[in-house]
């Protein structure tokens, strides 16, 4: 039985995923989106992928700028995730709160992110309604003491270390 779109989306809501803000900046402009479709590809060279809807106002900027930064959000970034996911919000309004820096590519990196992975686009593939944008990681920033924000069953959840028993 082939799943319909509604059932497929319901199934995918049960696939827990890190919440990320993916940003870009360059000749085509500055933009950012909230995304959970982010995945490591290989560590040699360090590469990850981001899936971006081709109808997104940010899509062409990611491709044309040729750079992006994946900012893995901490448990205290739920409001920021909602802000970057809000349809119709102007790109400059998305960056009004929180502190932003740049690493190597010029794409905005969230200073308080659990991890920021600064990437150069290495390949773009079209799959259905989305582009799978692969990027080689050029620089990264890690906060050792943070706890991640995950999205599961259409809600945000805090993810931290599991206590071990002696």
Would you give the end-to-end CA distance of the chain in angstroms? 48
- Evaluate if residue 13 carries a pLDDT over 90: no
Residues 97-116: pLDDT tens digits? 879 999 999 999 999 999 99
Nearest to 23 by CA among 87, 88, 126, 113: 113
The two structure tokens encoding residue 94: 């998305």
pLDDT band for 154, please (50, 70, 90 cuts).
confident
* Whole-number percent of the chain with pLDDT over 90: 66
Reply yes or no on domain 18-159 having CATH 2.40.40.20: no
73: DSSP letter? P
Residues 23-48: pLDDT tens digits? 999 999 999 999 999 999 999 999 99
Region of residue 128 (left: phi > 0; alpha: psi -120 to 50; beta: else) = left
Residues 117-151: pLDDT tens digits? 999 999 999 999 999 999 999 999 998 877 888 87
pLDDT value at residue 9? 77
């Amino acid at each position: 039985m082939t799943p319909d779109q509604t059932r497929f989306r319901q199934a995918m809501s049960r696939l827990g995923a890190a919440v990320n803000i993916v940003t870009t900046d360059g000749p085509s402009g500055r933009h950012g989106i909230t995304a959970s479709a982010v995945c490591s590809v290989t560590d040699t060279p360090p590469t990850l992928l981001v899936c971006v809807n081709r109808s997104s106002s940010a899509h062409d900027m990611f491709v044309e700028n040729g750079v992006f930064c994946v900012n893995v959000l901490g448990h205290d970034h739920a409001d920021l995730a909602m802000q970057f996911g809000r349809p119709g919000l102007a790109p400059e309004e998305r960056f009004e709160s929180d502190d932003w820096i740049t690493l190597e590519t010029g794409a905005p990196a969230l200073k308080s992110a659990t991890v920021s992975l600064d990437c150069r686009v290495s390949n773009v593939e079209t799959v259905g309604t989305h582009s799978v944008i692969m990027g080689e990681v050029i620089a990264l920033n890690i906060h050792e003491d943070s706890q991640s924000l995950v999205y599961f069953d259409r809600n945000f959840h805090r993810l931290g270390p599991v206590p071990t028993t002696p």
